[in-house]
Amino acid sequence: MYAFEWNPASDTVVRTGDGELLGELWGASVATGNSFLSRVHPEDRERFSTIACGVTAQRPSYEISYRYIHDNGSIIWLHERGSAFFNSEDKLLRVIGITADITKSKEAEETLRHLSGRLLSAQEEERSRIARELHDDIGQDLALLLVQTEYAIQTCEDQDLLARLKEILSSLRQAGTKVRQLSHQLHASELDYIGLGPAVEMLCRDFSQHVSFRLTCVCKNISGLLNRHIALALYRVVQESLNNAAKHAQAKNVSVELHGEGDGITLAIADDGRGFDTSAVTSFGLGILSMQERMNLVWGTLSVRTAPGRGTTIEARVPKAETD
């Protein structure tokens, strides 16, 4: 860790602290702001300029994590916090702050992200396998039983037995519907054929037929060429949120809004139900953890706004990416 002071008048940066870190980064304790900025990773440079170099008298403090490139081409992660000082005319006088090397923690995060990704991929593969078993095996068996029962009804002359057969036929049809619904929930095959927007609209239409609350859905500017990992993550967030609303919210109205905005996609699921205490350990809380994990894997964010008696709003945002 080291401390720094930047003088904008002379564009000099003076650093003090961990001599080893300073030597690795710059080879000297004094440098220029421009020379430092040129070593910030290209993908982080604009963000660094906006946040760290864009301080104002109204926003004098900042905090940012970014990548820095060594002379040898290797990359480290730095976390920086700074405060700017201005004169009475709002002219920038100096910026002071501290910077720490967080490369190891970032590497650990990436390792965890990779392992979590493998776990969720294995989970999706298993869901797909079970869905195929339900559709191709159990579903076909039920379809055959339906045909056999219908034939038995047509040839039955015993009125008591006929009534019983009709009850069995009704139960078989209900079971077939449940199997199809479960298969559909386990494997969202429509994502591959019609894309995220239409798939979410279809999910909401189907879901609205089995719940007591009013469900509205709006999808705008969602590319059909969206990366499937992102599409699947957002689809599962919608699915999990609707299931939680049906089980716990006791809501009268639920809305789903999915919008493409610039280089990102925003999803919001809101209800006017009873809300909940976020500190409570419940099955709903476990669902939120699952949604957060999915968002982390696609470099997205997820937030929950709720309180007892005030409904719940779940918001997710991911960077937009085209097909793999």
pLDDT given at position 219: 94
Strands 30-32 and 61-69: unpaired
CB 230 within 8 A of CB 318: yes
Q: What is the CATH number of the domain that holds 276?
A: 3.30.565.10
Please check whether residues 204 and 320 belong to one and the same domain: yes
Please check whether residues 196 and 314 belong to one and the same domain: yes
17-31, 163-177, 198-212, 218-232: segment of lowest average pLDDT:
17-31
Parent domain of 160: 104-187
Does residue 256 have a pLDDT over 90? yes
Please check whether residues 73 and 114 belong to one and the same domain: no
Please check whether residues 211 and 198 belong to one and the same domain: yes
Give CA–CA dist 228/121, Å, rounded.
Answer: 12
The helix (H) or strand (E) run that includes residue 208 is: helix 196-208
Does residue 28 have a pLDDT over 50? no
Does residue 31 have a pLDDT over 60? no
Please check whether residues 139 and 252 belong to one and the same domain: no
User: Rounded to the nearest 10 degrees, how much is the dihedral formed by the CA atoms of 269, 272, 277, 283?
Assistant: -60
Considering 48, 75, 101, which residue would you say is the last residue of a domain?
101
Q: What is the CATH number of the domain that holds 60?
A: 3.30.450.20
Please check whether residues 205 and 171 belong to one and the same domain: no
Considering 147, 168, 187, which residue would you say is the last residue of a domain?
187
Phi, psi of 13 (to 5 degrees): -120, 120
Please check whether residues 298 and 312 belong to one and the same domain: yes
Please check whether residues 155 and 196 belong to one and the same domain: no
Please check whether residues 324 and 215 belong to one and the same domain: yes
Q: Write down the mean pLDDT value for the chain.
A: 83
28-32, 168-172, 246-250, 264-268: segment of lowest average pLDDT:
28-32
Does residue 156 have a pLDDT over 70? yes
pLDDT given at position 29: 47
pLDDT given at position 20: 52
Please check whether residues 198 and 317 belong to one and the same domain: yes
Name, in order, each residue with C-beta under 8 angstroms of 135's C-beta and a sequence gap of 6 or more.
179, 180, 183
Average pLDDT over residues 123-152: 80
Please check whether residues 195 and 166 belong to one and the same domain: no
Phi, psi of 9 (to 5 degrees): -65, -40
pLDDT band at 272 (very low <50, low <70, confident <90, very high): very high
Considering 187, 219, 238, which residue would you say is the last residue of a domain?
187
Give CA–CA dist 42/64, Å, rounded.
Answer: 15
How many structural domains is the chain composed of? 3
Name, in order, each residue with C-beta under 8 angstroms of 278's C-beta and a sequence gap of 6 or more.
285, 304, 306
- Its pTM stands at 0.58
Please check whether residues 301 and 221 belong to one and the same domain: yes
Q: Is the pLDDT higher at 78 or at 125?
A: 78
